[in-house]
Amino acid sequence: MNKFTLSKFIAISLTLLTLSACSMNKMMVDMSLPMIEGGIEAMNAEPDLQLAEDSMPANISMLNGMIQLDPENVRLHTYAAQAYYGLSYGFNEDSDIKRAGKFYQRGLKHGLIALELSGLKNAKDINPDELEVQLQKLDKDDVAALFWTASNWAKWVDLNRDSAESLIQLPKPTAMMQRILELDETFYYGSAHMYFGVFYGSRAPMLGGNFEKSRQHFDRAREITDNKLLVADLLQAQYLARQMFDQEDFHQRLTKIIDAPEDLYPELTLLNQITKRKAKLLLSQEKQWF
């Protein structure tokens, strides 16, 4: 075997080894996906807030490790976006806003990668009109990536609402949520409806608010979950009732949340427990707001 042939043989062998390693990594990830999905279901049903909070960093580290093995896996990036959102909203936003903002940004990054891999390129850089065109090319398979991207994005904007630079980004997650309503309004328990309940209820009519539309979206979200997911009432009290200076509605909704049975929605016990805790925090501020 001459020198040229030997070099070529080595190059081909190394390429085959690399391809084999990539295939093995993807195979390992694919075999692990059912375990991740089962873990998400178990976490959603967890009644102990401290146990859930303590376990989330390890779960996120595992996801990040798997993403290193298979960096072009849309589902992994989507799960990571969901995990960072859950960590921020459930456990950081009420105690450490700066940290929550960082986690929302990390969730947004994973969501944008998932969308990029699904065909939606440069969502952060293209203008809103071009984004609208690109969104029409997505289908039901892309709803999860759209939802968790938009959720992280919108919450980051909300935490930075005093900044004009952040506020001008809001039309993009809003367009994504609108596309979700078109593709599957029931996704993640009607949460896109909750988004628009907040969107229309958190601002005065002269600034684009619409209290009737807000009520309609919150009502639809409750209808989708058979009124068992408490967060719709929480958000309506926090944004719509407060914007309307309706103290009675604010107080009644939050009290109803706190008094709700622990097993109201067993498969989403964790979110309802988080909602109960947030309701108590909001009630503690009632006298400051009304």
| 233 and 265 housed in the same domain | yes
pLDDT value at residue 19: 43
Query: Does a structural domain hold residue 239?
Result: yes
How many domains is the chain partitioned into structurally?
Answer: 2
Evaluated on CA atoms 44, 45, 49, 52, the torsion sign reads negative
Query: Does a structural domain hold residue 246?
Result: yes
Query: Does a structural domain hold residue 110?
Result: yes
Evaluated on CA atoms 42, 44, 46, 51, the torsion sign reads positive
Q: In 13-63, at which residue ranges do the beta strands (DSSP E only) sit?
A: none
| 155 and 212 housed in the same domain | no
Structural contact between residues 283 and 242, judged by C-beta atoms closer than 8 angstroms: no
| 246 and 197 housed in the same domain | yes
What is the per-residue pLDDT across 226-259, written as a single tens digit (0 to 9) for each? Answer: 999 999 999 999 999 999 999 999 999 999 999 9
256: CATH: 1.25.40.920
pLDDT value at residue 37: 81
Query: Does a structural domain hold residue 180?
Result: no
Query: Does a structural domain hold residue 229?
Result: yes
What is the per-residue pLDDT across 57-71, written as a single tens digit (0 to 9) for each? Answer: 989 998 998 888 888
pLDDT < 70: residue spans in the chain: 1-32
Query: Does a structural domain hold residue 30?
Result: no
pLDDT value at residue 187: 97
d(CA 272, CA 263): 9
Per the structure, the complete domain to which residue 107 belongs is given by: 48-133+142-172
pLDDT value at residue 31: 63
pLDDT value at residue 16: 39
| 167 and 234 housed in the same domain | no
pLDDT value at residue 166: 79
Main-chain phi, psi angles of 181, to 5 degrees: -60, -35
| 205 and 115 housed in the same domain | no
Query: Does a structural domain hold residue 284?
Result: yes
pLDDT value at residue 32: 66
Query: Which residues, other chains included, contact 87 with Cβ-Cβ below 8 Å and sequence gap of 6+?
Result: 56, 57, 60, 103
| 75 and 153 housed in the same domain | yes
| 148 and 192 housed in the same domain | no
| 154 and 59 housed in the same domain | yes
| 85 and 115 housed in the same domain | yes
| 235 and 271 housed in the same domain | yes
Query: Does a structural domain hold residue 237?
Result: yes
Token look-up 């909704």 returns 253
What tokens does 40 get? Answer: 């998400």
